[in-house]
Structure 1
Amino acid sequence: MDTKLIVSASPHVRSEETTQSLMANVIVALCPCVVASAIIFGMRALLVTAVSVVACVAFEWLYCKLLKKTNPISDLSAVVTGIILAMNVPVGMPIGQLIIGDLVAIVIVKQLFGGIGMNFANPALVGRIVLFISFAGSMNKWVFPDAAVDQLSSATPLAVADKSKLSLLDLFMGIHGGVLGETCALAIVLGLIYLVATKTISIAIPASYVGSMFVFYLIATHSVHEALVAVLSGGLLFGAVFMATDYVTSPFTLKGKLVYGVALGIVTFAIRYWGSYTEGVSFALLFMNLWVPYINDLTRQTPYGYIKPAKKAKEGAGK
């Protein structure tokens, strides 16, 4: 007998999934990026990741301890925040500065707004932006794999003027400079496949975000190669898979997810193509996070049997 449908007060459809199991799936999906960062940039990548995770967990435990709140560290959300923030910094990021980003992400963005499920923006995203604004020198101090130095002239792919000289294979495999998690597109794709296969996320947001960016660049440059470079460069893929799909700060309807993804593509393209800042993903995500409540309201599904007020009044007048 199927016991999923419960005739009682909502929720009617129940699931065995928990916050801990969902966060565990995200951690597993992030593992290819962590491993790739260590292979590309060296073992310090693992140190940066470990420090970020420990700091996030410690800050969450300490905050809840001091305020005598239920400690949520077992839900693994702080671990996810720590890994994602680590994947958003260069391998040479000073540890002290990284810990400041962890503090902002966990205490200011997450806990001060009520804890998990209450944050207005992705904690790791805001932590990264604070680090970028406060420590721009450290955040832009790129480390390059030896094989990529000559080819890319010591510049990240987004900063290279002639995109036609960039190898798509090198971009896909991560043989170029950048922050830890954004370089290897292969690792990100593997994580995406796992998240979609386990139904942890919907493909709608990554597909609409990356797809719209490809189309916009194709229209603007008339070059498939340059459009693919734009997709494979910078933090687009990592942001689309691991940050744009955050449950709290992304729409909950399919229509809303598609609108959100395309809007992210528009904002990111505008910043990259017409702005002076070559990246744009972080600021586009933060901007669109603030619009999610309105997207949810505008794309809310119509309840079964619902009659519009105007139609209801007309039917009442006709009786």
Structure 2
Amino acid sequence: MWRRRLGRWVLSVCLILNANLVAASTLLFLTAEETPLYQAWSRDPHRSPTLCFTLARPSADVTLQGFLSLDRPEGPPIPARKTQTLDSLADLCHRERAQVVVALGDEAARMILRACQLPTLLVGMTRQQLAPLLADARREPVSAIYREADPSLDLRLARALLPNARTVGVLVPTPEPAWLMSLRVEGRRLAFALDEIAVTDDLDAVRMLRPRLTGLDAVLLPPDANIVNEWSLKPLLLMTVRQGVPVLGGSTARYVEAGVLAAVVADERRMPEQMRALIAELAHGRTPHPTYPASVRVAINRTVAETLSVSAEAIHRAWSLFSTP
């Protein structure tokens, strides 16, 4: 169902928007998901889709959607070409004149990196997911914007929502993740005592957190699917709610919808501005460092906030902390 909806939506974008076909093609965008980021980029007046396409992988039951876009909104409008069905992404990469490829999500990223020897920007994947892809040797430059916001921002959110909190339990994957150092620095700045709970997997997370809860004012979830996932999130939330301990964090707003009190998450609708800067670097042969989203927003579960007696004043303070100027 969602694939049919996505296909119809991509086709409508291609039929409505126009492009100057005299200009050189600059961007190839590929995704398996219709997300706010994909919609925002497609509707950017400076990058009008021309060739739209679908790419089916029957063996994997995956259908990817995408478009080729131009970087010149000026000139006489020419109707975009309709959606084409492609058998090979490699053929498209060689036939068209894209300078940079954007892959949104895991499926798109793996296909792009195999098929296209072009500068590539990977978006919509966690730092954990991206690590092995970025480590592979490749002639063309590759960069990324992580799906999750900087975990240290969740500590700032915790201080705004929980002004009296002192000890925050942090589930720490082993080996020690790269983000832990900045989290320690931010914890000291905010006068938090971090209780680092070393865990190896999702089962270990549930087992190790349980006896520590009585000494915690809050729990911070790591952006690590091996530790926090569909299996472990439910028991983690059940035990913390029973103890009245707020839980913050998670790579997307879905964690908040599932019962996490609050999290700082990427604001996908405002991400194209950051993407344009990285694409310009890639187009000139440079390899910008992978980075966290520059635009973020606060997601708060109002029901959980009420259950935990989080005040309206604290919620307003949290919104103001990360509001757009």
Regarding TM over 0.5, the answer is no
The two structures have a TM-score, normalised by structure 2, of 0.28
Higher strand share: 2
Higher helix share: 1
